[in-house]
Every structure is written in structure tokens, then in C-alpha cells.
């Protein structure tokens, strides 16, 4: 897991949710971070812009449950 990617996910989470919290790999996005469907879309779009990857239309994104899953997916995707 890339520390740079995790830091970026934390920054985007802070911007969208207005909550300052250190994220852990095992944090469940919906249950632990209280991210609803609208916030999820905002976070994914912001991460797409930041990293130049496709997340919203990516079928693999449907399997993302934890912060670690999200970071791993971003690190695996080729830039657009």
C-alpha cells in the first residue's frame, strides 16, 4: 500500500466529509467512516481527478469495502 495514496485518500476524505481522522487500512468505508452514496461518489470523482484513473466506471471499484481496498485499487490502475 502506497503511503502517498493513503495520504491522498485521507485528504479527499477530509475535504468531502469535513472530518479530520487518520485512516487505517482496515477501516470500512461505509460502516466505519460513515460515507454515504453521495459522499462515495464525491470521493471517487476527486480521486479520479487527483490520480488520473477511472474509478466510477470501473467494475473493480464495486468490490471496494475498506480503505486498504481503495488504496490498492488506485495503485494498481494505470493512469488514463
Domains located in the chain, CATH noted = 3-76 (1.10.1200.10)
**Cα separations (Å) of 7 from 4, 57, 75?**
5, 23, 13
Q: Is the dihedral of CA 28, 33, 8, 52 positive or negative?
A: positive
Helices 3-17 and 37-51, packing angle to 10 deg: 130
The pTM assigned to this predicted structure is: 0.89
- The helix/strand/coil state of 12 is helix
φ and ψ at residue 34, rounded to 5 degrees:
55, 45
Q: pLDDT, tens digit, for every residue of 10-34?
A: 999 999 988 888 999 999 999 999 8
Q: pLDDT, tens digit, for every residue of 26-80?
A: 999 999 998 898 999 999 999 999 999 999 999 999 999 999 999 999 999 987 5
Amino acid at each position: 500500500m502506497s503511503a502517498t495514496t493513503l495520504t491522498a485518500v485521507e485528504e479527499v476524505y477530509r475535504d468531502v466529509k469535513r472530518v479530520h481522522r487518520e485512516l487505517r487500512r482496515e477501516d470500512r468505508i461505509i460502516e466505519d467512516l460513515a460515507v454515504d452514496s453521495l459522499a462515495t461518489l464525491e470521493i471517487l470523482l476527486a480521486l479520479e481527478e487527483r490520480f488520473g484513473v477511472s474509478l466510477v466506471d470501473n467494475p473493480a471499484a464495486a468490490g471496494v469495502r475498506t480503505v486498504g481496498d481503495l488504496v490498492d485499487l488506485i495503485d494498481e490502475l494505470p493512469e488514463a
